[in-house]
Amino acid sequence: MHDFKFCQEILAALTEKSKKSGKAIKIKSVRVALSPVSHVTPKTLEETFRTMAKNTPFSTVKLYVSPLKLGIKCEACKKGFMVERPTFICPECHSPSLNIIYQKEFAIDSIECQKKLKKPAKTKSKKRR
Ligand SMILES: [Zn+2]
C-alpha cells in the first residue's frame, strides 16, 4: 500500500505547486526518487499514479522515477557514502560496521512547469507608474 501513500504525496505536492504558481503555469512533469527499501517498483508507482491522477487536473503530468540513494557511514574509517542499494560492507575499507544514517523510502525531487501559451497582450498605451 506504499505506492498509494507515495502517490497521495505526489498529488498533494502538485496541488500545492499549482496553487502557488497560478493559472498561467501548467505542470508538465514530476520527478521522484524511490528507494529500493520501499518495496515499491517504479512501474507500480507509475501505474498507481496514473490511476489516481486520472480525474484530477494532473492527469497529463508525467512521472519520472529515479533511484533514491541511502546514506551510510562506516564506523571503522568514519567515511560516509551514498549508495543505491543497502550494503553491509564498507566500499572503502571493507569493514562490515556500517550504519545507515539516511534512509528514506521516497522523495519528490522536482516539479517541472510550463508556461501556458497565451496570446501576447498588446497594450495600447505604455503608462509609467
Ligand atoms: Zn570503512
pLDDT tens, residue by residue, 104-117: 889 999 999 988 77
How many angstroms is it from 87 CA to the middle of ligand 1?
A: 12
C-beta separation of 88 from 70 below 8 A: no
List the grid coordinates of 62. Answer: 508525467
How many angstroms is it from 97 CA to the middle of ligand 1?
A: 8
**Beta sheet of 62-67, edge-to-edge order:** 62-67, 25-34, 106-115
* pLDDT tens digits for range 24-82: 889 999 999 998 778 899 999 999 999 999 999 999 999 999 998 888 999 999 999 88
Q: Is the dihedral of CA 118, 120, 125, 129 positive or negative?
A: positive
How many angstroms is it from 71 CA to the middle of ligand 1?
A: 13
> Which residues are paired to 52 by β-bridges?
none
How many angstroms is it from 74 CA to the middle of ligand 1?
A: 5
Determine whether 22 is exposed, middle or buried from the number of CB atoms within 10 Å of its CB (0-12, 13-18, 19+). exposed
Q: Domain 2-68+103-115 belongs to what architecture? A: 2-Layer Sandwich (3.30)
How many angstroms is it from 78 CA to the middle of ligand 1?
A: 6
The rounded Cα 55 to chain-centroid distance in angstroms is: 21
99: helix, coil or strand?
strand
What is the model's pTM? 0.74
DSSP letter assigned to residue 16: H
Task: Place 123 in a pLDDT band, splitting at 50, 70 and 90.
Answer: low
